[in-house]
Chain A
Amino acid sequence: MYAIEADNLHRTYRTSSGWIRRTRRTITAVDGVSFQVPPGELFGLLGPNGAGKTTTIKILNTLLLPTGGTARIHGLDVTRHTAEVRRRIGYVFGGDRGLYDRLSALDNLRYFAELYEVDPRVQRRRIEELLELVGLTGRQKERVEGYSRGMKQRLHIARGLLHDPDVIFLDEPTLGVDPVAARDLRAMIAELVRSGRTVLLTTHYMFEAEELCDRIGVITSGRMRALGTPGELKRHAQDRVVVEAEVYGVDEEQLDALRAERGVRGVTVDQRGMLQVIVVQCDIDGDAEPERFRSFVRQSLAHLKLGRVEVREPTLEDAYVGIVTGQEAAAPETTAVLS
């Protein structure tokens, strides 16, 4: 039996704005998402902002009802066996809200331990263990309002684990956390999986997904675009090269000219201070091709102040960017295609 099953999930939001003339809109946030996660797996849900990751998680953790489709946790339907599902799952979200900040960490944990039905006889020990696990031992009597972002996030995790759930949902747990704290959090997440829990993690940091996840689902506009192991997703970009160019002052028009070239799959720009790094993804079907693309990019940008121009192998990040910008499906023989 799967730990998590999503079966053709749909969710739309109805919003209205304006006072006098109310305009109503329907937003499709999740548009037919299906996947299965076996017990003990760390499954990553990856996608840009607004892709529908949080909505998918909230359907799975019973906070939202789906407008279509079904979902099960260990075979239990999330809309029909809500209380039973809640006892088996933990939910941790990123950001610094979601705690009583005028209370101490200890008071927060005691309160939620009660709400999450932790046996009073084991509460004290359980809370001590968790404080130890998330590295807050010694600070538990301080008010949460004085905590750093990283400490709050770790307290969040402790709260989510109070009732010892075996399925854990982590929605962008490293959001806004400094790099060192984020690394600690990732180590903690890896440890959860090692101890046998099933974890569903959302992130928009590719390296985070690559480092942690057994399998990754890439979601954009509410649809699953590709699903597979990091290796499988990378292979998805195997008949491709990437030309990376450092340049100053490139504009949209010049980028469009690059995009129009035969064999160019996608062009993205990364602004690093004054410097722009242009990443051109190119399809290749011959040995001479990589050099051809390199000279092409060099020539197209020749009139600008140009730095290093290099050809390199595609990374998982490139595969991801390719999937998201091209909204293309992965090769069927290597990954499950869902669209």
Chain B
Amino acid sequence: MNARRSLPRRLPRLLAVGLRTHIVYLSRSPLEILVALIEPLIFATIAVYLFRAGDRPGELLSAAVGAGLMGIWASVLFGSGAAIQNQRWMGVLEPLAAAPVPLVLVFLPITLASAAVGAYALLATLIWGVLLFGVPLDFADPLAFVAAVPATVLSLGMVGLLLAASFVLLPNANALANSLSYPVWMMSGMLVPVDVLPAWSAPLSAALPSKWGADALRAAVTGGDAWPPILICLAVGLCYLVLGALMMTWVERRARDTATLALA
């Protein structure tokens, strides 16, 4: 048989093929397409009206970006929750788990794929904002913006991994996903700036890469140094990757113990 390459050497290709596979798969889901078409429109509308009501027209772009970020989070949350459940329904969770590759590397591309679909939501929200509401596209630092988007997507994909690991064990993961969407929007400063939130929530916000992603995107839009929050965003994301990997290892063991891989 052919000689096996070491895992670090195979990793980039493994992730790339996985990402491609799952993005293609998602792009062929009728529901996914519908959500992808409608959700950004709704988010753009909410963002614009929220800020018009607040009489801060100068921050329209920033609001649209915040709304787009909500799209990424929604996609990660529901994508990760539903993706794992879907693998189980389709009966592929067992062949995935039976692969010699560690389960965490099987799931990372799945959660990254939903984050990437979310990045599309961010773009679509911006485009709707421009087309419908005349949001001006005047970025203070376009380069930082272009760097902040993938950094945010990557870190949120890693958060998704931890969620995915937890969701493997839960029969009603969707209910949990629902209850997690709004608090994270709030605490990341996607809807309102974090400084209007009570002080106790500050550490929680700091633990969310989406907060740093939002800071970075806002800085890139309105001015300010976007690079430190980009780096923090990635660093926090890596912590979730480590937690997710540990959780996934434990979960796999447990699933083999309790027979929860198959749809019983």
Contact = CB atoms under 8 A, between A and B. Distances in A.
A18 to B, nearest CB: 14
Nearest to A156: B95
A191 interface: no
Contacts of B3: 119
Contacts of B101: 114-117
A116 B99 contact: yes
Nearest to B89: A97
A122 B5 CA distance: 13
Interface in B35-53: none
A163 B2 CA distance: 9
Instruction: Give the contact-size bracket for chain A.
Output: 35 or more
A106 to B, nearest CB: 11
A62 B5 contact: no
B97 A63 contact: yes
Interface stretch (B179-187, B206-214, B255-263): B255-263
Contacts of A122: 2
A11 B257 CA distance: 10
Contacts of A214: none
A62 B261 CA distance: 12
A120 interface: yes
Nearest to A143: B28
Interface stretch (A83-91, A226-234, A297-305, A308-316): A83-91
B90 interface: yes
Interface of B is mostly: helix
A86 B98 contact: yes
A101 B94 contact: no
Contacts of B202: none
A102 interface: yes
B17 A114 contact: yes
B133 interface: no
Nearest to B21: A111
A61 interface: yes
A84 B100 CA distance: 7
Interface string B65-99: 00000000000000000000000011110111111
B256 A64 contact: yes
A103 B26 CA distance: 10
B14 A98 contact: no
A112 interface: yes
A164 interface: yes
A99 interface: yes
A97 B91 contact: yes
Which among A64, A110, A164 has the greatest number of chain B C-beta atoms within 10 A? Answer: A64
B101 to A, nearest CB: 5
A300 B13 CA distance: 72
Given A107-B21, A114-B17, A115-B106, A100 B92 contact: yes
A36 to B, nearest CB: 22
A134 to B, nearest CB: 16
Interface in A36-62: 61-62
Which among B21, B24, B25 has the greatest number of chain A C-beta atoms within 10 A? Answer: B21
Contact of A116 (B5, B18, B29, B100): B100
B1 interface: yes
Contacts of A135: none
Interface string A127-171: 000000000000000000000000000000001000110000000
Contacts of B106: 115
Contacts of B261: 63
A65 interface: yes
A32 interface: no
A95 interface: yes
Contact of B99 (A86, A100, A101, A121): A86
Given A98-B92, A100-B92, A119 B2 contact: yes
Which among B17, B101, B257 has the greatest number of chain A C-beta atoms within 10 A? Answer: B17
Contacts of A103: 21, 24-25, 28
Contact of B95 (A13, A98, A118): A98
Closest 5 CB pairs of A and B: A97-B91, A119-B2, A98-B91, A115-B99, A86-B100
5 contacts: A84-B100, A86-B99, A98-B91, A102-B29, A115-B96
Given A62-B98, A102-B25, 17 more contacts: A14-B258, A63-B94, A63-B256, A65-B253, A83-B100, A93-B94, A97-B90, A97-B91, A98-B94, A103-B24, A107-B24, A112-B99, A114-B14, A117-B101, A120-B13, A121-B2, A163-B100
Interface of A: 13-14, 61-65, 83-84, 86-87, 91, 93, 95, 97-103, 107, 110-112, 114-122, 159, 163-164
